[in-house]
């Protein structure tokens, strides 16, 4: 089955700097890669996703890149702000309605003032 590795487990960056979180996956059949943000006491929420037919996707300060050959994908947050402090999860899945979504272990991001 699919296995998703996520690094680092904890990341501290100065406010205004960039943050990068990296993930690798094992199943070459996976073609949908979402990223979720979890704030304290809440359920995770989707912030961006990418499908295997594109290599990069941007949404304001957030971008995701995908390298299918190497089976890794990354989340980039630029100009970090205090509200970016949260736990971030990467995940991998097929796109079929029956396909389960497998998550990495998460990265706790701290934005330092």
Q: CB neighbours (10 Å) of residue 46?
A: 10
Strand partners, 42: none
Does residue 28 bind another protein (CB under 8 A)? no
Kindly report the number of other CB atoms within 10 A of residue 86's CB atom. 21
DSSP 67: E
- Of the residues 28, 45, 67, 81, which one makes contact with another protein according to CB under 8 A: 45
CB nearer another protein, residue 73 or residue 89: 89
Does 21 bind another protein (CB under 8 A)? Our answer is no
Is residue 97 a contact point for another protein (CB under 8 A)? yes
Backbone angles phi, psi at 89, to 5 degrees: -120, 135
Binding residues vs another protein (CB under 8 A) = 1, 6, 9, 32, 34, 36, 41-46, 49, 89, 93, 95, 97-98, 100-106
């Amino acid at each position: 089955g699919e296995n998703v590795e996520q690094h680092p487990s904890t990341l501290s960056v100065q406010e205004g700097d960039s943050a990068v979180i990296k993930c690798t996956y094992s199943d070459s059949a996976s073609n949908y890669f979402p990223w979720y943000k979890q704030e304290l006491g809440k359920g995770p929420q989707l912030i961006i996703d990418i499908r295997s037919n594109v290599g990069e996707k941007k949404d304001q300060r957030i971008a995701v890149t995908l390298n299918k050959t190497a089976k890794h994908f990354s989340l980039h947050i630029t100009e970090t702000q205090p509200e970016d402090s949260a736990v971030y999860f990467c995940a991998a899945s097929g796109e079929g309605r029956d396909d389960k979504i497998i998550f990495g272990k998460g990265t706790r991001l701290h934005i330092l003032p």
